Structure 1
Amino acid sequence: MMRKTKCLALIFLAVCLILVFAGCGRTFGWLEGDAEDVVTTEVTHGVYWMDLGETKLMKVPYEIEGASTEEMIGLCIEGLQKTPEDNAYKSVLSGDARVVDYTYQSGNKLATIYFDESYNKQSKAREILVRAAVVKTLTQFCDEIHYVSFVIGTEPLMAKDGTLLMMRGKDFVNSISGSMEYVREDYVTLYFASEDGTKLQAEDVIVKYLSRINLETAVVNSLISGPFSDGLKPVLSPEIVVNKVNVKEGVCYVDLNKKFLERVEGQSFELNIYSIVNSLTQIAGITRVQFLIDGVIFDGAVEGTRIDGMFEKNMALVYRPESKAPESLIELPKSDDALKKDIEQQLKENGVAQKQETK
């Protein structure tokens, strides 16, 4: 009788464990042989939907396995066109956002998406969400796709300065409170820790922010968020709170909480200071930076460094890679501007209008 009771208890326990694991929403596979009994798999790819109010995006799992980059682009577009099963969301490639073709340039790692002319009929808010969804979906394959450009009808989508708009996934956020028309964007240079944590190293990014905050605040928040590039490390604690950042007579006053005084991974406190100072002083009109801690000037010192004075740019802390071969033997990477000029020339030579006529 006791043996029977124990068997029933074990069966009951096994059933409970299966129900608990099933409730976790994971996929389990029972394997034979010496392998693990339970394998948990995670969907790594996804596409983006927008909410019904057209104010934010949501990434949903969507497996994308293509034999080539061109095939992956096609599968991404197919996923973006699907009608969501969740009634709270809708696809971004619907209505006036109709894709008619796409191309891929492996040399520039650029995907170009061709839209019908009706694309221009969208509201500005919706158009930004469509752009964000397409670019973020495609650039998740970062080894193959670094940039995405749009062609509307026969006209390439251009930046404010008249050059080809080459977009990256990190240029966009997933949601914007309030009207999308209030979004601003600026190209800035941010300074993070080098790989060995002894120097600062520059990273050029596009910062997007709402009109209710200024560029200086956006820059400091971007520094706290950390770098995108491999080989760069965060300088500032992610727990730093930005109380206020404002500029007066060439001085940028940066008010942070006490977490600013903490070093990250044992790095020199000078990096905390000059990651902010060097990033802010490259903005026109700012020559010096004054730090405050919770609204007051901090009269103490960290590692013997006081921050109660004003700081100017210090490029001595910035790492500059040395050439390992004569310059004539090195093929220098092209800048974004050079890439844009090359691509614009290719579009002109190939004839975007001619391409559209062959549809």
Structure 2
Amino acid sequence: MNIKEKNIFNIQIKDFFMAAIFLIVFIAFLLTGCGKKEKYNGYYIYGLDATEKKIMYEKCSISKKGKTDVLIKRFISKMSKEPDNINMKKAIPDDVKVDSFDINSSGDLSLYFNAAYGNYTGVAEILRRAAIVKTLSQIKGIRGVQFYVSGQPLTDSNMEPIGIMTSNSFIDNTGSIGDYKQKTTLNVYFSDNTGKALVAIPVDITYNATISLEQLAIEQLISGPYTIEGVSKNNVLPTIPKGTVLNKVTVKENTCYADFSKEFLNKEDNITDYVAIYSVVNTLVELPSVNKVQFSIDGEQVLKYNQNINFGEEFERNLDLVRETK
């Protein structure tokens, strides 16, 4: 075989292997394409991701055959059990129970939860609600879902009934919840210029479900009055000492538990003890979810504030300290 024939032979071998590789890739593409075209026609069970920041889902083996009430019971049971996916949290926690449900002729499903559901607020509640609604909305004949807690309609932060919800009431099932934006006006209480009374300063706030109103209210107190447009330094004084950090804030059964860093105890000299404490209390009790406030410092209960006030008790609103403003 001369050099020319040898080169032609090598080219033919190369072409053969290239053709073979192309054929393999083409077959793999066809197989992959066929897999993508297959549609899943079953049900999904929705839940939360491990960080409780977004919704997840997994396939469910529940048969589509069956009466509506039977399917509802099966879905509720599924959402109350741990998911197969270890990175997913169930939508209905252990302490929450669906006592009963009913569905009217229009397809509106009413779920009656026990009182424990009221312990969930903010992100955790919205995502659980979204997961439950999205799961049950898959059942044919269900137009919308309404929540009741201890027999009363579930309400929003303004104490307005949330009403009927559909799957479209919530954003993309696996997306971020940063788009749940709402606007509200909070009355934030600072000290007057004498340090002996409180004045209510209205603050317009745009927020989303990732931050609770309780946290936003306290953060505004920590930031101080001078960060609010139109507030004069001659009229009001800050009430929370510089360097104070809000470690945690939670609400359970209408009591707000606010845990501050130790700097909170370093009261400003130009205001009274009561003004310092009730600046926080009155601001938080303005919120519809709060009736009382319980303080702690770095996770521990402190019995006395500045050696004068019993700091271990729950505090209620005190309007006697509030000065009328024009």
**TM-score scaled to structure 2, two decimals?**
0.42
Greater Rg, structure 1 or structure 2?
A: 2
RCO higher in 1 or 2 (8 Å CA, sep ≥ 6)?
A: 2
